[in-house]
Structure 1
Amino acid sequence: MHEDQFYRSVPAALHPLLERNLARIETALEAAGPLLDEVREQLVRVLIGSDYVTGQLQRHPEWLAELIGSGDLNSARSDQAYGERLQAEVEGLVDEAVLHRVLRLFRQREMVRLIWRDLNRLSDMVGTTRELSRLADACIEVALNWLYEQACQRWGTPMSRPDADGRKRPQRMVVLGMGKLGADELNLSSDIDLIFTFPANGETEGGRKSLDNRDFFTRLGQKLIQALDNVTVDGFVFRVDMRLRPFGSAGALACSFAAMESYYQEQGREWERYAMIKARVVAGDQGAGAELIQLLRPFVYRKYIDFSAFESLRDMKAMINREVRRKGLEQNVKLGAGGIREVEFIAQAFQLIRGGRDVDLQQRELLKILPQLPDKVGMPTEAVAELTQAYTFLRNVEHGIQAIADKQTQELPVDDEGRARLAFAQGYADWDVLAQMLERSRAAVSSHFADVIAPVDEVDADQDDMRTEWLALWQGVMDETAALAFLSEQGYEHPDVALKALQDLQGLRTVQMLQKVALERLEAVLPTLLEQVGQSGNPEVTLERVLVLVQAVLRRSAYLVLLAENPAALKQLVRLCSASAWFTEQLSRQPVLLDELIDPQTLYSPPNQAELQTELRQQLLRIPEDDTEQLMETLRYFKHAHMLKVAASDITGVLPLMKVSDYLTWLAEAVLESVLDIAWRNLVDKHGTPQKTPGVPCDPDFIIVGYGKVGGVELSYGSDLDLVFLHDAAAELETDGGRPIANSVFFNRLGQRIIHILNTFTPSGILYEVDMRLRPSGNSGLLVSSLNAFRDYQQKDAWTWEHQALVRARVVAGSPALAERFEQVRREILARPREAEQLRGEVVDMREKMREHLGSKPAAGDSPAVFNLKQDPGGIVDIEFMVQYLVLRHAAECPALMRWTDNIRILAGIEAEGLLLSDEVELLREAYKAYRAAGHRQTLQNLASVLGEDEVQGYRKGVAAIWKRVLGAPE
């Protein structure tokens, strides 16, 4: 079909690919006419290296002739050229849809040119990344200016508040480019990290409707994101990521300079210092933006030499390493060992440490920082040369990967054709040659990274003779008599049981079929593991549990390496498995959680509520907002990891019972807040924002109310969540997006989406079981109600037991303003006057029904009598019902009883009001804590919440006596 010269320089394995792509651009070739040899060779490399370019030339066959004839393929663009060309194309446009099309076609044509030049090395890596950054700058700037003019015509020009002289000044948006865009290092298929800000608060003047400046710039920002990010028939311009703004996805889309300064001074995190190094004004008011950069500089660069940066970067890298292991990203040229990210960390570590004292280090571009390191910090010149060479090579490979399909990926191909085409496009003879170069480059980066960021601890060279003995036992070299004696010497009380467990493991087909490397890894960790188990208090039980975990990771032997290289983590593992069957089960289900054992300092120091929220937000920031599956996996890992940390602190006595419940509750609240944010964002992207009144969007006027254990700050391991969803939007209005739906439909879908994210079973399990039966009318009621409907139901139709449940209800996520209104409704319902005897009768009737259906049944035959901690007489529910009865009975005259939702603090209020004797309150309080502590212990051993009848008999009798006095039949 085509001339033979197209195939001359192409390996035979790639001929089918070339033939397919040549066929796709046949019309373009005919339009271009005869090609010079040089151009034909370049075209072949592009067709092999980029299905994306092939597709563009197929859709726009005239482009090939234009690019060749214009000389655009042979010359770089000046910094101003992109903006000037694009501005000329949008002159006179009045239709926003046409603007979107012009932007997309401009980007597609320029990407064809840039990929052509990059693959043929007509531009070096630095030139390509700079031009890509200028292309992005131009698209943002031209789109912003056009949209700003349209917005001012509609809403007026945003003005500052009057200054001391009474003058107001027009306001323009400042767009900060972060990450690779900010550093002029954009890659071939990168998203763009942006922050929207504006100089001063005020409101618009001269439009059909006045808005405050924040609302104006938020709407303008939304329009700009749509212009760049929306996928249309013409594709997209750039994927936009706004999560680096203050407070991430939960923060305002646009905020004033004052709000920016306040946030970074008071709440800015170490990772945000790292991110802000690369911040650059890419569009909007350049003068005001320069002032903002100066304003934020003290946050980024400390005046003193800041060696704490090493620790924060080490922590960040450890987090990334965990993600690499969890997601299997070892072949990722950015995130994997020796990848692009490690080179960036090396440079930015020294920027953060010394940048405050040395302005030469206050630059964004990595390749301007590396050459300074020999003079500034004494890094060997050879090391800098190796890092520079490796970084350039890896970035070129990254571009080669992304050129194929214009996808944001850094994963090396695993198929033969993919490897062959990448090697050819990068100018290498075959994949083996490219792979060797990759290995050398990544090894060099890893070595220098370890020297700078993560120095490796020296290993004790002394060999432990005990290791040989353990391996002899494991491999069956040691005879049975000697093996039993050896196990006994090592602390095993029943060596025959331990030996059989090891023999059973050895006999497993999985073990016998292990590849050599996996078997070596297993034998590297077994001696130390078995020695530690022998030193535990229950060696045979611990061995059984630990070997279950070993079986779980045999096919993922990287975890065996983790334990072998981290003796402290292995020691923690044995200690915790010895104490808890539940702990072992969690690790066996999700071995990835072994990462959490590495640092005992963090393992036994669970974060506080604010730190939990910040850590989760930071983890979610690194995931594309539309990647719901990965967001769900991250939420699950976060929840399981922190539950494991709390359990470790609980098992070892570091945390008392009440603190354990606090942390588990805070963990659930952090997750719920993020789930609400994800679900809200997904629906708003599809349908727009619900309106509170015509033209005024909700913000977001939705709350999640927690009942039961989560409402009472008493969560345990494996607790489900009793939730109610409420909103406060006008039912007769609809959302303001391109596909509007009624507010009521929006909020119902929002509730469904939240439950889906929480309940869906993924490879990491579920987040939480959710129980919605406490909503108005239970399972037959609406999934989401308005606050007014909730209030009407509670006043007119709710049963007494539903008012009892309200005692423990509180808002756990959502709008603070709506939360205040809910609390007013809650107090109003709880403080209603009630007839004492009727209330007593209804509470007692409900309790008796629960005992009948849920309590322990009489023991049969020789079965031992048992006590159900929760449901049996004198148990947890008796205490809860007495507390709820006293609140409902006396809240009208004792409003302090409504302040708290947890039983311990409500009991303190009951004592303060003199509703129970101090001795009675003390007994109830201690019994309640003892029951809950016993329940925790049972859970950690995977046992039901049932004890022997005699174990807490004193508390049972005491609780039962108080029940009889408070709720027994009247005399």
Structure 2
Amino acid sequence: MDLAALSGLPSILQNAVQGYWERFKETATAHQLEQKFALFDQAIMEQLYQVWAVSDYVAQQNCCNPKLLFNLIESSRFASPISKKQLALSLAQRFEQISSEADLLRELRLFRHQEMVTIIWRDVTGQASLTETMYHLSALAGVCIDRAYRWLYQDLTQGLGVPTGKKDNKPQHMVVLGMGKLGAGELNLSSDIDLMFAYPTQGDTQGGRRSISNQEFFVRLGQRLIKALDTVTADGFVFRVDMRLRPYGQSGALALSFGAMEQYYEDQGRDWERYALIKARVVGGDPRQGRNLLERLKPFVYRRYLDFSAVDALRDMKQLIQRQVRRKGMEANIKLGPGGIREIEFIAQAFQLIHGGRDRALQQHALLKVLEVIEGEGYLPVQVVTELREAYQFLRRLEHFIQAQADQQSQTLPSSSIKQQRLALAMGYQHWDELNKQLTHHRQRVNYHFQQMVAEPHKPTSSQLSGQESWKTYWIGSVDQEEAHELFAIQGFQQPEEADRRLRALQNSQSMKQAQRTGKDRIDQFMPFMLSMVTEQESPDACLFNVLPFIESVLRRTAYLVLLIENPHALEQLLKLCVASPWIAETIAKYPMLLDELLDIGTLYSPPDKDELADELRQQLMRIPEEDIEQQMETLRYFKLAHVLQVAASEVAETLPLMKVSDYLTWIAEVVLDQVLHIAYQYLIAKHGLPEGHPGKKAAFTILGYGKVGGIELGYSSDLDLVFIYDAPPNSMTDGPKPIQSSMFYTRLGQRIIHILSTQTPSGQLYEVDMRLRPSGASGLLVSSLSAFEQYQLNQAWTWEHQALVRARLLAGSKRLAKDFAAIRAKVLGQPRELGKLRQEIVEMRQKMRDSLATKATQGGMADNAWEAEQSFDLKHDYGGIVDIEFVVQYGVLAWSHQHPELLTYTDNIRVLEKLEQTGLMTPEAAGLFREAYKAYRAAAHRLALQKHAGVVSGDTFHEYRRGVIAVWQQWLESTPLASE
């Protein structure tokens, strides 16, 4: 032994290592392995000293079986990681010699010793990261479980026959679920493995000496599997098995059918079992059926909405952890003690339970990956996640080295000086005090963050408490009608009788009567709390009447009420928005999951710009498998709903001006369309391949927007006027496994885009789509080639179709095709026109619209009393309204763009008006009036939409704007030709 190298170890460890070396030499010599000592070069010897100094277990294994160490060195096993596939192959080779269950137990244990020596060696010498070590351990467990299961299954079927489904008569396998650290792929060096056994359906075995039920077969199989893994023999054990997480715990059947498991969790599943199932993973048996089972159990674990109903359960768990920590002796336990591993796991899994139903990125097993999502999605500040991640890695490495010493399941810090020095050496510290100082730092940070999680419920002020007590007395029915009306009047309600009537109707509703006990308790807790906050609003009546539909909509999903109880500021925002906008109130009532957006006031009233919107949606969709179209559609719809809500909230809060409101609503549509096109395109090329392009060009497709989306003037409920254009050679084909004509490919692409946009899902539809502006309208092809579009516009289109083309622009798709379209648009709109005929056609079209859409008082012309308060003014369709402005602008573009091509630069009316002014075609006074009138009308229309009113105001409003617009209309379109003609 190199005494110089040995002297590099702390003195307290030198004697132990030297003693092991003497034993090792003696055993190796007895087995005639002296020639193998040539394998021990300086690097191996230094590693050997370090490993034996840290791990008695490895040293003892090497001393008892020197051949194992020599084989590992010769095969370079310490030098590189091993895959699960390689592990399975290695164990399979051992199993070739097995002829009895005793052989099975022996080979499993010898294999486990071989891999444990390898794992600890690589870990202690720093050749494996924490992630690699956890993977190797978890893969080892998985391989042992699955290979043992398969051998035992074959052995058992020889006598009892093959378990078979009663309905389908097909052979069945068991599913072995790994829970806890095994399920997460995070096993430690001496961990229990938590397992559950399940099988697909009831039935009986067939082909054996006697038939038994499937359940009895799989229970026997499970018992033998546990014995194979857990029993301590002369060769040790493989893994200690814990089955207590199964349904009904220790009193439950060892194996249950899928249906029985699903029924158990639906009827009796407790919150801690949701917590446990987060990490469930198939580790043995039938993987396909295992995935089926986990998919069936997923609704129990992850709610589709933001699940604040889990908060109470998490708070109870937190208190349980804290009580356990206070027990004597816990301070030295780095898993269960204060600031330990379990507190980090609790923090991560709290976010999984609350948000995992909606944010599928959180539906992961491994804690470090969950922390990545928590950081990336902003659930916790970057600094907090960094501290948790660093603490977790530190604590898990320390846990491994505690267990490496003697292959014992312990997370308790040692008290003996030699064991403390071993840990310090393994962790890279000179002395125990240095290690302990760093450990204390990590545990303090973890415990601090743990204490901040799932804070206690909001404590109301004394005045709020007093108000809540009054409303509680009212809600439980302890006041008569006269007293109730007096209470409402005192609290500021203008319509006390109506308020009381509506609340009584809610109490007597069928949904309320059918509410379960838990739901009823939540409602009784929420209503007094909510009513006390309603009275703080400027208009309690409007607030209550607008928020009641929301409450009615969630009576069977009272987790939403828990969210508001837990987050009073979110309830405050909800009530403010309900007062300000019945449209917002109705939207939230229809889609209660939008309450999530009320949790962060900073984002609620600060919608992101287009680039941020695009990046957010792209990131959300990246986490969804491409084949999961249902989830993609739900994600698109929630994205749109959430961001439209932010825009509406910003508008009622007056933090966004009108023009920005339309910009944001249009950006949302563009970002959504871009991803819808991508999803539809990827779906089709997977089936049919790519369409062939023109020589030197790729085939291309683009989505054009007309109307409000083309003019960047979308409203909250606007539909999308779309036209689809493609460019590919006639009769060309796609290059995929199922080739079709390119024209058919693009037709199907258009159909799929419309399907994704307009299909009704639980979150509604994305947008209503209007395709009537395509060439030849409703009778035309759904998708037009570029050349056909050009020919139609030049030779067949009506004047009104050219008016629509003024507002047309690219929304999504090929940039090259966008340039080609822009050239065609300029060519079509820039044609010289006979102005008298143009005016006549525009005026006739406008009159048709007035006759069918304007208010009766103005259909035959402006009545004398049209300006009076008792009359109505339709902001869009009446004389002097929005359409008159748009038609004048379109006339200007069609009349003079051949002389002033700059009129074609923009598609929105405001900027086209600026160009008309800059070219001298419209006077500054007229252009200014048009711009201000247009913005005023649209602002009024937006306000009315948010109040759920039609776009109609009283006739005594906007007189100046209306008269001005009518005067310009008459001058431009109904008078003699202008001088500039």
Q: Sort the TM-score into its range (normalised by shorter chain).
A: 0.5 to 0.7
Which residue does the alignment assign to 2:678?
677
Which residue does the alignment assign to 1:936?
942
Separation of aligned partners in 1, 2:346 and 2:896 = 56
Aligned counterpart in structure 2 of residue 324 of structure 1, from 353, 356, 359: 356
Instruction: Provide closer, same or farther for how the CA distance between residues 374 and 122 of structure 1 changes in structure 2, counting only shifts above 3 A.
Output: closer
Matched to 2:973, the amino acid is: L
Is 2:879 the partner of 1:868?
A: no
Which residue does the alignment assign to 2:64?
none
1:490-569 aligned within 5 A = 490-569=491-570
Q: Is the 8 A contact 2:355 2:362 kept in 1?
A: no
Separation of aligned partners in 1, 2:925 and 2:647 = 32
Aligned counterpart in structure 2 of residue 895 of structure 1, from 895, 901, 906: 901
Which residue does the alignment assign to 2:619?
618
Q: Is the 8 A contact 2:458 2:568 kept in 1?
A: no
Is 2:817 the partner of 1:785?
A: no
Instruction: Provide closer, same or farther for how the CA distance between residues 702 and 796 of structure 1 changes in structure 2, counting only shifts above 3 A.
Output: same
1:876-955 aligned within 5 A = 876-955=882-961
Q: Is the 8 A contact 1:851 1:872 kept in 2?
A: yes
1:446-465 aligned within 5 A = 451=450, 454=453, 456=455, 459-460=458-459, 464-465=465-466
Separation of aligned partners in 1, 2:97 and 2:946 = 68
Which residue does the alignment assign to 2:50?
none
Which residue does the alignment assign to 1:812?
811
Q: Is the 8 A contact 1:675 1:757 kept in 2?
A: yes
Q: Is the 8 A contact 1:723 1:771 kept in 2?
A: yes
2:797 counterpart SS class: coil
Instruction: Provide closer, same or farther for how the CA distance between residues 565 and 536 of structure 1 changes in structure 2, counting only shifts above 3 A.
Output: same
Instruction: Provide closer, same or farther for how the CA distance between residues 596 and 343 of structure 1 changes in structure 2, counting only shifts above 3 A.
Output: closer
Separation of aligned partners in 2, 1:485 and 1:350 = 47
Displacement after TM superposition at 1:963 (Å): 0.2
Instruction: Provide closer, same or farther for how the CA distance between residues 127 and 771 of structure 1 changes in structure 2, counting only shifts above 3 A.
Output: closer
Which residue does the alignment assign to 2:647?
646
Which residue does the alignment assign to 2:962?
956
Displacement after TM superposition at 1:954 (Å): 2.4
Displacement after TM superposition at 1:125 (Å): 3.5
Q: Is the 8 A contact 1:759 1:770 kept in 2?
A: yes
Separation of aligned partners in 1, 2:510 and 2:900 = 68
Instruction: Provide closer, same or farther for how the CA distance between residues 491 and 67 of structure 1 changes in structure 2, counting only shifts above 3 A.
Output: farther
Separation of aligned partners in 1, 2:628 and 2:775 = 34
Matched to 1:872, the amino acid is: D
Which residue does the alignment assign to 2:600?
599
1:752-809 superposed Cα distances (whole Å, 9 cap, x missing partner): 0000000111111111010111111111111111212211211111111111111111
Separation of aligned partners in 2, 1:115 and 1:958 = 86
Which residue does the alignment assign to 1:688?
689
Which residue does the alignment assign to 2:745?
746
Instruction: Provide closer, same or farther for how the CA distance between residues 573 and 315 of structure 1 changes in structure 2, counting only shifts above 3 A.
Output: farther
Which residue does the alignment assign to 2:709?
710
Instruction: Provide closer, same or farther for how the CA distance between residues 114 and 876 of structure 1 changes in structure 2, counting only shifts above 3 A.
Output: farther
Which residue does the alignment assign to 1:466?
467
Q: Is the 8 A contact 2:352 2:362 kept in 1?
A: no
Separation of aligned partners in 1, 2:543 and 2:970 = 45
Matched to 2:972, the amino acid is: V
Instruction: Provide closer, same or farther for how the CA distance between residues 798 and 124 of structure 1 changes in structure 2, counting only shifts above 3 A.
Output: closer
Which residue does the alignment assign to 1:725?
724
Separation of aligned partners in 2, 1:128 and 1:574 = 45
Displacement after TM superposition at 1:465 (Å): 2.5
Which residue does the alignment assign to 1:138?
none
Q: Is the 8 A contact 1:859 1:865 kept in 2?
A: no
1:483-509 superposed Cα distances (whole Å, 9 cap, x missing partner): 323222222122222222222212223
Which residue does the alignment assign to 1:296?
none
Instruction: Provide closer, same or farther for how the CA distance between residues 810 and 78 of structure 1 changes in structure 2, counting only shifts above 3 A.
Output: farther
Which residue does the alignment assign to 1:426?
none
Q: Is the 8 A contact 1:346 1:449 kept in 2?
A: no
- More off after superposition, 760-769 vs 725-734: 725-734
> How many residue pairs align between the two structures?
630
1:225-244 aligned within 5 A = none
Separation of aligned partners in 2, 1:949 and 1:374 = 80
Is 2:787 the partner of 1:774?
A: no
Which residue does the alignment assign to 2:580?
579
Instruction: Provide closer, same or farther for how the CA distance between residues 121 and 934 of structure 1 changes in structure 2, counting only shifts above 3 A.
Output: closer
1:194-593 aligned within 5 A = 323-326=355-358, 334=363, 353=383, 370-371=396-397, 451=450, 454=453, 456=455, 459-460=458-459, 464-593=465-594
Displacement after TM superposition at 1:683 (Å): 0.5
Instruction: Provide closer, same or farther for how the CA distance between residues 631 and 121 of structure 1 changes in structure 2, counting only shifts above 3 A.
Output: closer
Separation of aligned partners in 2, 1:316 and 1:858 = 65
1:766 counterpart SS class: coil
1:875-913 superposed Cα distances (whole Å, 9 cap, x missing partner): 111100100110111111211111111000110111111
1:372-411 superposed Cα distances (whole Å, 9 cap, x missing partner): 6999xxxxxxxx969xxxxxxxxxxxxxxxxxxxxxxxxx
Displacement after TM superposition at 1:748 (Å): 0.5
Q: Is the 8 A contact 2:375 2:385 kept in 1?
A: no
Q: Is the 8 A contact 1:693 1:733 kept in 2?
A: no
Separation of aligned partners in 1, 2:349 and 2:659 = 34
Separation of aligned partners in 1, 2:351 and 2:798 = 49
Displacement after TM superposition at 1:513 (Å): 3.1
Instruction: Provide closer, same or farther for how the CA distance between residues 450 and 735 of structure 1 changes in structure 2, counting only shifts above 3 A.
Output: farther
Q: Is the 8 A contact 2:701 2:726 kept in 1?
A: yes
1:646-698 superposed Cα distances (whole Å, 9 cap, x missing partner): 1111112111111110000000001100100100011011111112158x894
Instruction: Provide closer, same or farther for how the CA distance between residues 736 and 449 of structure 1 changes in structure 2, counting only shifts above 3 A.
Output: farther
Separation of aligned partners in 2, 1:906 and 1:373 = 70
Stretches of structure 2 lacking an aligned partner (at least 5 in a row): 1-91, 119-141, 152-174, 188-286, 293-344, 402-409, 413-442, 860-864
1:659 counterpart SS class: helix
- Larger Rg computed on CA atoms: 2
Instruction: Provide closer, same or farther for how the CA distance between residues 371 and 889 of structure 1 changes in structure 2, counting only shifts above 3 A.
Output: same
1:345-376 superposed Cα distances (whole Å, 9 cap, x missing partner): 789999975999x9x9899xx7677436999x
Which residue does the alignment assign to 2:156?
none
Matched to 1:662, the amino acid is: D
1:269-322 superposed Cα distances (whole Å, 9 cap, x missing partner): xxxxxxxxxxxxxxxxxxxxxxxxxxxxxxxxxxxxxxxxxxxx9999999667
Q: Is the 8 A contact 1:361 1:369 kept in 2?
A: no
Separation of aligned partners in 1, 2:514 and 2:375 = 45
Query: What is the TM-score normalised by the length of structure 2?
Result: 0.58
Matched to 2:725, the amino acid is: L
What's the C-alpha RMSD, in Å, of the aligned pairs?
4.5
Stretches of structure 1 lacking an aligned partner (at least 5 in a row): 1-61, 82-107, 131-233, 240-312, 376-383, 387-443
Q: Is the 8 A contact 1:351 1:362 kept in 2?
A: no
Is 2:758 the partner of 1:756?
A: no
Q: Is the 8 A contact 1:343 1:449 kept in 2?
A: no
Displacement after TM superposition at 1:478 (Å): 2.2
Q: Is the 8 A contact 2:637 2:766 kept in 1?
A: yes
Q: What percent identity do the matched residue pairs reach?
A: 44
1:404-455 superposed Cα distances (whole Å, 9 cap, x missing partner): xxxxxxxxxxxxxxxxxxxxxxxxxxxxxxxxxxxxxxxx9xx979618857
